[in-house]
């Protein structure tokens, strides 16, 4: 199960670290020396202030109410005031723009401000006002140098590129990017015009369409920043404080250099750049590029996301040579921004963003004991994956297997994960080695008395689980938590063999563990609150987005997936080709098609789950014949891991062909489709409605804590279409009544597989009921 | 960061409790006194100059022979020989042994080589002192050598792999296949790393960041460098650098003077561009120590052995390597020290160290203040005399001994920093004259 969307998303939100304490210190100590003249209105301003150092005005940004600086209404107002004073002050020749927050320059526009707008027109006005200020900065007669340390994203980046010069620290926290596309928006304050001019079309497209974060050194190479400054180590002040001071000193020198013409603002372009510019000056070349990019976006997004398409459109208009400096299309950009901000896709993506931030908090409080040693049983794909995301967080990680070969494979997986990071220069080889020194691989229970938590990732068989639970409890200390990485076995069944069920919990990771962000934590009635708090704390340390759900067969995620896969098998039995099935699911917005998903999960696992959950929930979980999956397993078609499943996987080959041997199996279990419910759209809704109905039922039964966690779990764990925002937001936007209507039609043909649950019916009967307010 | 830690650990070794000023000897009952009998060094030359065609052990040999000449020491009177070096010539990886044999020492005398970045020869001396203190030896020759005129430049790993396979190939076909597999990329040579392996940062880059972290300005660094060169020039002109021996370089002239001392003017220094962090860095070629060839050697003995052999020792050595409490252990305070010799790798680094010692960086109870400049590196330092990595430690110790004799002081303090976040400090006590 691989969710590309989630990957992109991850970096965007990692910036919300703990800056509060620093911010406060700066508020009180920032300005108590070297001040020549203070702005008269300083006391009235809370977000932006400035001091004049010689002939340079140092403008400092600091939002006192938040961990990060955002371009809020107040920030914009104060910035305008300050800049007006700077421009009016004859003693000032140039300005430096810097943030007083150690990890953040400006993280972007204030999302809440955009959401608070009632109409596209209101958003358009907001965007226009931001752009107006940036335009004045761009045309400033006194050069403005942006001194960037920490995240410089979205509107923050657009601000920075409106300045005449950019100096950035090489700190790991310094990232530049335009993540708007991930929120279903476009860079609405000049990015679509300035970035292509600055970087050329290809790089600008890459930035704006992927929304990815760019590190300072890469930004320098691209020409996004002009000069780099090394972060400093311990010295007369804390490294963070002194680094900001140093950045400011260097930026001031740059500002003076620009005024004295020692630093040229127009850089001599390289030969390649000149050639590229020349080629780009032809309209038909540009059009070809727009066409190619448009095609790529359509292929990847299936046209389900309006934002990237709008970005291409806006860039193509703004950069056509005819319309240079034509005010109307600037206006067009703002309008597009306003329209995008009010689309359901943007609402869905912003909802996910908020949900993700919420799921990165521990609502169970701080655990009594921090987990310093984590032992993992089973060095398979999952076990080693868990080790991989744990060991680099400073936690001593013990990886135990029963066989040398399995252990060696697992340790190699951990090594490879870290080594790949080294090759991408995310960490040095020295860091890799010192991280690995925290990993202990072993075949016995030596040292388990020091473990604070044991996560088992052994074979999915209740008897084996009971056996390892007893073995573990015999050797660990009383405070040690036992977590099971099962995907379907009820935790209370596992805990039945435990002497201390309050310490037993479920931690359901998704494969590949280092890529998938979701962690589903399952608590039973007996699990203590401290155990949950501890499991959440570990998951957060591992960088996971966490949902905490109640116990039951399949918990939340597996339980939602099972009926959809059962339906997928039925669809296959009805004669739909796996490729066609994949096409139907991906065009609905799933990042991975249903047939491919089954291969990724493993046909054996799918068969296992289908059988178990079928027993637990009865005929409602029926649909496709489980025998289809079982026969495939018998023939060795266990999915990607065995090389064959619905498809044939050949190493090194990117394209995959349908496994020719499954034709016979499907022929054997062939069902005649009912034409009344077999149109492409019907097939899509058959798959999705079963997923959604089961999700709503999980909320109804109290498995889920709320719709928000339900949406996050479905999108980040199972790849539910991000543009729909998750099953609950989908019900809200699609309409529960319309969904129920479709389900009733399917129910008439297939029976109780499609019977809507009570909560869904309630929503269908009362249109004022919404899962998300 | 690493450099910062390194230099600072040096300074923390100066921690001391406030003590009453007592100029008593530091001798302790039951502990053997270890004395420095003599210390010499070859002239330190800019690499690529007169020593260019030598090999490292030639330089070490010259230092050893110089020591023998000065002391008239019988060649079999030494129990052990230890040398420090940083960049190793692969042909003479135990350079101590090669140099000792070449200098005519008995082949019965064991010799080993130590490496610990810029404090390699400090470590050689400390190891020697340890052997004497443990009662295993009575007389030790310790030294250091560095030869930057020639460094081991290797074939690339790919090429080495191919060449090693080639030597194992049995048939002509296999050999031709291997030779055929060589691509242009195989031929890219591998230079010895100037960067620290663990942090991948070069020392100059690190020194620049350190200087910035402690707010050391370019002006301060240039002034310090100028001071170092000026003092070195004066010391050289006044004939104070007695540890330098003359060395007849095969095929060339006799060398008897350091050639890196170049007192310049602030105007000249100001003109230089930053060498590592561009364009806003503060460390330049002029305020850094230069690449140097040179070797040093000292004769260390137990006091009774030295006296029995009729030597007049120069100083007591009180090495306290590894303890961050050189002064505290010696029971001294900063004001008791008459002579300071600190290693100056970069002006920025040494200035940052001095600022750190005078700041809140150190915990208050360990605060000892900064060494007074009128006692500090008065005969020049690594910036001006040169810094052959492996050989600098012995120069520092010998210089302290000579300065104590010349200036009439009682205690000296040696401190040096090294790559990898390490440091070394030693208290030296004048031998009663």
Tens of pLDDT along A330-347? 566 678 888 898 899 999
Residues of A with CB under 8 A from a CB of B: 227, 229-230, 232-236, 239, 242, 246, 250, 253, 428, 430
Query: Which residues touch A660 (CB under 8 Å, ≥6 apart)?
Result: A648
Q: Are A341 and A114 in contact (CB under 8 A)?
A: yes
Do the Cβ atoms of A230 and B4 come within 8 Å? Answer: no
Do the Cβ atoms of A235 and B198 come within 8 Å? Answer: no
The pLDDT-based confidence of A235 (bands split at 50, 70, 90) is: confident
Query: Chain B: nearest CA to A577, how far in angstroms?
Result: 47
Query: Chain A: nearest CA to B351, how far in angstroms?
Result: 12
- pLDDT tens string B15-37: 333 333 446 777 777 778 999 99
Residue of chain A minimizing CA distance to B1: A233
Contact with chain A for residue B363, Cβ under 8 A: no
What's the pLDDT at A132?
87
What's the pLDDT at A329?
53
Mean pLDDT of chain B: 88
Query: Chain A: nearest CA to B23, how far in angstroms?
Result: 34
- Of A230, A235, A428, which is closest to B4 when you measure between CB atoms? A235
Asked whether residue A162 carries a pLDDT value surpassing 90, the answer given is: yes
Q: What three-state secondary structure class fits A681?
A: helix
CB < 8 Å to A230, chain B: 205, 208-209, 212, 277
* Best to test chain B binding among A231, A232, A235, A432 (most B CBs inside 10 Å): A235
Asked whether residue A250 carries a pLDDT value surpassing 50, the answer given is: yes
The highest-confidence range among A5-9, A186-190, A407-411, by mean pLDDT, is A407-411
Query: Chain B: nearest CA to A571, how far in angstroms?
Result: 53
In B84-201, alpha helices (H): 95-102, 120-133, 157-168, 172-180
Query: Chain A: nearest CA to B4, how far in angstroms?
Result: 7
What is the predicted ipTM? 0.86
Size of the A and B interface in Cβ pairs below 8 Å: 53
Comparison of pLDDT for A314 and A532, the residue scoring more: A532
- pLDDT tens string B250-301: 999 999 999 999 999 999 999 999 999 989 999 999 999 999 999 999 999 9
Contact with chain A for residue B210, Cβ under 8 A: yes
DSSP B370: P
DSSP B153: P
Q: What three-state secondary structure class fits A4?
A: helix
Asked whether residue A3 carries a pLDDT value surpassing 50, the answer given is: no
What's the pLDDT at A5?
34
Instruction: In whole angstroms, give the CA distance from residue B367 to residue B355.
Output: 12
Instruction: In whole angstroms, give the CA distance from residue A665 to residue A663.
Output: 6
By mean pLDDT, which of A132-146, B58-72, B328-342, B403-417 is the weakest?
Answer: B328-342
Contact with chain A for residue B217, Cβ under 8 A: no
The pLDDT-based confidence of A54 (bands split at 50, 70, 90) is: very high
Do the Cβ atoms of B355 and A236 come within 8 Å? Answer: yes
What's the pLDDT at A129?
82
- pLDDT tens string A90-119: 999 999 999 999 999 999 988 888 888 888
Enter the tokens of residue B387: 């810094």
Work out the average pLDDT over B207-233: 96
Q: Are A188 and A133 in contact (CB under 8 A)?
A: no
What's the pLDDT at B197?
83
* B63 alpha-carbon distance from chain centroid: 14
What's the pLDDT at A12?
35
What's the pLDDT at B316?
92
* Best to test chain A binding among B157, B196, B208, B209 (most A CBs inside 10 Å): B209
- Of A233, A250, A430, which is closest to B209 when you measure between CB atoms? A233
Q: Are B181 and B197 in contact (CB under 8 A)?
A: no
- pLDDT tens string B64-122: 999 999 999 999 999 999 999 999 999 999 999 999 999 999 999 999 999 999 999 99
What's the pLDDT at A188?
85
CB < 8 Å to B355, chain A: 236
What's the pLDDT at A251?
97
User: A691-711 burial, b if ≥16 CB within 10 A, otherwise e?
Assistant: bbbbbbbbbeeebbeebbbbb
Instruction: In whole angstroms, give the CA distance from residue A163 to residue A630.
Output: 63
* Best to test chain A binding among B212, B217, B352 (most A CBs inside 10 Å): B212
Q: What three-state secondary structure class fits B260?
A: coil
- pLDDT tens string A253-271: 999 999 999 998 877 677 7
Do the Cβ atoms of B212 and A232 come within 8 Å? Answer: yes
The pLDDT-based confidence of A738 (bands split at 50, 70, 90) is: very high
Q: Are A214 and A176 in contact (CB under 8 A)?
A: yes
CB < 8 Å to B214, chain A: 235-236
Task: Catalogue the active-site residues of B.
Answer: 118, 387, 417
By mean pLDDT, which of A12-26, B104-118, B396-410 is the weakest?
Answer: A12-26
Handedness of CA B393, B395, B398, B403 (dihedral sign): negative
- pLDDT tens string B138-192: 999 999 999 999 999 999 999 999 999 999 999 999 999 999 999 998 999 988 8
Asked whether residue B248 carries a pLDDT value surpassing 70, the answer given is: yes
Closest alpha carbon to A367 in A586, A128, A492, A528: A528
The pLDDT-based confidence of A9 (bands split at 50, 70, 90) is: very low
- pLDDT tens string A669-718: 999 999 999 999 999 999 999 999 999 999 999 999 999 999 999 999 99
What's the pLDDT at B85?
97
Do the Cβ atoms of A236 and B5 come within 8 Å? Answer: no
What's the pLDDT at B14?
35
- Of B1, B215, B360, which is closest to A233 when you measure between CB atoms? B1
Work out the average pLDDT over B208-225: 95
The percentage of residues in chain A with a pLDDT greater than 70, rounded to a whole number, is: 92
What's the pLDDT at A284?
85
Q: What are the DSSP calls for A219-282, one per residue? A: HHHHTS-SEEEPPP-SSSS-HHHHHHHHHHHHHHHHHHHHHTTSS-SSPPPPHHHHHHHHHHTS
- pLDDT tens string A298-311: 988 889 999 999 99
Do the Cβ atoms of B213 and A233 come within 8 Å? Answer: yes
Angle of helix A404-423 relative to helix A381-391, nearest 10 degrees, comes to 50
């Amino acid at each position: 199960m691989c969710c590309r969307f989630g990957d992109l998303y991850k970096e965007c939100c990692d910036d919300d670290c703990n800056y509060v304490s620093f911010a406060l210190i700066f508020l009180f100590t920032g300005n108590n020396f070297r001040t020549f003249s203070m702005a008269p209105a300083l006391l009235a301003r809370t977000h932006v202030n400035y001091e004049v150092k010689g002939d340079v005005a140092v403008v400092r940004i600091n939002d006192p109410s938040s961990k990060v600086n955002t371009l809020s209404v107040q920030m914009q107002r104060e910035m305008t005031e300050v800049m007006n004073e700077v421009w009016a002050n004859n003693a000032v020749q140039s300005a430096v723009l810097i943030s007083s927050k150690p990890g953040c320059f400006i993280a972007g526009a204030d999302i809440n401000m955009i959401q608070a707008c009632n109409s596209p027109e209101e958003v358009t006005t907001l965007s226009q006002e931001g752009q107006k200020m940036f335009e004045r900065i761009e045309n400033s007669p006194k050069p403005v140098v942006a001194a960037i340390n920490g995240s410089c994203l979205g509107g923050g980046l657009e601000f920075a590129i409106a300045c005449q010069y950019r100096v950035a620290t090489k700190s790991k926290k310094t990232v530049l990017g335009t993540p708007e596309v991930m929120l279903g928006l476009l860079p609405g304050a000049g990015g679509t015009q300035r970035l292509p001019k600055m970087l050329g079309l290809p790089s600008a497209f890459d930035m704006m369409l992927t929304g990815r974060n760019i590190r300072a050194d890469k930004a320098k190479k691209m020409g996004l920043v002009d000069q780099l400054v090394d972060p400093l180590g311990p010295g007369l002040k804390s490294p963070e404080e002194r680094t900001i001071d140093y950045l400011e000193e260097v930026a001031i020198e740059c500002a003076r250099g620009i005024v004295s013409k020692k630093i040229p603002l127009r850089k001599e372009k390289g030969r390649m750049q000149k050639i590229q510019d020349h080629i780009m000056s032809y309209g038909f070349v540009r059009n070809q590029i727009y066409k190619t990019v448009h095609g790529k976006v359509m292929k990847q997004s299936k046209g389900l996301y309006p934002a990237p398409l709008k970005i291409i459109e806006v860039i193509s208009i703004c950069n056509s040579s005819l319309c240079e400096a034509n005010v109307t299309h600037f206006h067009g950009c703002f309008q597009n921004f306003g329209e995008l901000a009010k689309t359901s896709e943007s609402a869905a993506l912003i909802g996910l963003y908020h949900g993700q931030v919420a799921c990165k908090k521990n609502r169970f409080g701080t655990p009594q004991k921090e987990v310093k040693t984590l032992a993992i049983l089973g060095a398979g794909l999952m076990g080693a994956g868990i080790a991989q995301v744990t060991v680099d967080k400073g936690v001593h990680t013990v990886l135990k297997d029963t066989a040398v070969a399995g252990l060696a494979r697992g340790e190699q997986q951990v090594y490879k994960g870290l080594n790949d990071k080294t090759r991408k220069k995310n960490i040095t080889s020295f860091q890799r080695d010192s991280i690995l020194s925290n990993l202990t691989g072993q075949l016995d229970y030596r040292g388990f008395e020091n473990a604070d938590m044991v996560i088992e990732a052994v074979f999915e068989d209740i008897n084996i689980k009971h056996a390892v639970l007893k073995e573990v409890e015999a050797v660990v200390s009383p405070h040690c938590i036992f977590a099971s990485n099962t995907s379907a076995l009820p935790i209370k069944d596992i805990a039945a063999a435990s002497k201390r069920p309050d310490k037993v919990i479920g931690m359901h990771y998704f494969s590949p563990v280092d890529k998938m962000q979701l962690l589903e934590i399952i608590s039973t009635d007996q699990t203590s609150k401290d155990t949950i708090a501890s499991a959440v704390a570990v998951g957060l340390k591992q960088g996971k987005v966490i949902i905490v759900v109640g116990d039951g067969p399949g918990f939340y995620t597996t339980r939602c997936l099972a009926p959809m896969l059962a339906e997928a098998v039925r669809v296959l039995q009805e004669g739909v080709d796996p490729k066609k099935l994949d096409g139907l699911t991906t065009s609905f917005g799933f990042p991975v098609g249903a047939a491919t998903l089954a291969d990724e999960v493993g046909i054996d696992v799918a068969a296992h789950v289908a059988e178990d959950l079928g027993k637990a929930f009865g005929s409602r979980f029926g649909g496709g014949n489980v025998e289809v999956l079982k026969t495939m397993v018998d023939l060795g078609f266990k999915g990607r891991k065995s090389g064959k499943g619905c498809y044939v996987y050949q190493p090194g080959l990117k394209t995959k062909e349908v496994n020719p041997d499954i034709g016979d199996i499907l022929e054997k279990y062939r069902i005649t489709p009912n034409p009344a419910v077999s149109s492409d759209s019907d097939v899509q809704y058959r798959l999705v409605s079963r997923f959604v109905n089961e999700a709503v039922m999980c909320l109804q039964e109290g498995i889920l804590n709320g719709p928000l966690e339900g949406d996050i779990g479905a999108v980040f764990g199972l790849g539910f279409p991000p543009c729909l925002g998750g099953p609950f937001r989908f019900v809200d936007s699609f309409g529960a009544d319309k969904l129920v209507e479709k389900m009733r039609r399917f129910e008439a043909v297939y029976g109780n597989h499609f019977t809507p649950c009570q909560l869904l019916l309630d929503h269908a009967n009362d249109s004022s009921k919404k899962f998300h307010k | 960061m690493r450099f910062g830690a390194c230099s600072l650990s040096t300074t923390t070794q100066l921690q001391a409790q406030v003590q009453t000023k007592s100029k008593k000897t530091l001798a302790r009952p039951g502990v053997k006194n270890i004395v420095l009998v003599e210390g010499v060094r070859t002239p330190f030359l800019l690499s690529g100059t007169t020593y260019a065609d030598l090999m490292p052990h030639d330089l070490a040999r010259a230092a050893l022979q110089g020591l023998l000449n000065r002391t008239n020491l019988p060649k079999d009177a030494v129990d052990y020989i230890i040398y420090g070096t940083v960049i190793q010539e692969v042909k003479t990886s135990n350079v101590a042994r090669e140099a000792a044999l070449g200098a005519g020492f008995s082949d019965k005398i064991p010799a080993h080589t130590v490496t610990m970045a810029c404090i390699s020869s400090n470590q050689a001396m400390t190891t020697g002192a340890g052997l004497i203190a443990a009662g295993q030896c009575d007389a030790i020759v310790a030294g250091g050598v560095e030869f930057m005129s020639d460094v081991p430049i290797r074939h690339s790993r790919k090429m080495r792999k191919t060449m090693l396979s080639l030597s194992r190939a049995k048939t002509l076909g296999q050999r031709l296949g291997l030779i055929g597999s060589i691509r242009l990329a195989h031929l890219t040579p591998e230079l010895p790393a100037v960067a620290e392996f663990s942090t991948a940062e070069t020392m100059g880059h690190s020194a620049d960041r350190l200087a910035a972290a402690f707010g050391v300005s370019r002006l301060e660094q240039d002034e310090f460098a100028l001071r170092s060169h000026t003092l070195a020039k004066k010391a050289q002109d006044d004939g104070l650098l007695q540890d330098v021996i003359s060395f007849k370089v095969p095929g060339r002239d006799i060398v008897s003077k350091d050639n890196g001392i170049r007192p310049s003017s602030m105007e000249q220094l100001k003109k230089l561009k930053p060498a590592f962090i561009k364009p806003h860095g503060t460390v330049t070629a002029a305020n850094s120590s230069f690449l140097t060839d040179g070797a040093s050697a000292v004769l260390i003995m137990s006091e009774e052995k030295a006296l029995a052999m009729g030597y007049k020792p120069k100083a007591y050595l009180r090495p306290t390597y590894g303890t961050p409490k050189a002064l505290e252990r010696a029971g001294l305070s900063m004001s008791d020290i008459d002579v300071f010799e600190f290693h100056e790798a970069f002006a920025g680094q040494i200035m940052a160290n001095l600022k750190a010692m005078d700041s809140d960086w150190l915990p208050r109870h360990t605060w000892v203040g900064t060494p007074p400049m009128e006692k500090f590196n008065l005969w020049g330092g690594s910036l001006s005399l040169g810094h052959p990595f492996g050989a600098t430690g012995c120069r520092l110790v010998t210089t302290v001994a000579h300065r104590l004799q010349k200036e009439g002081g009682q205690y000296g303090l040696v401190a040096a920093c090294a790559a990898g976040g390490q440091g070394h400090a030693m208290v030296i006590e004048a031998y009663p004259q």
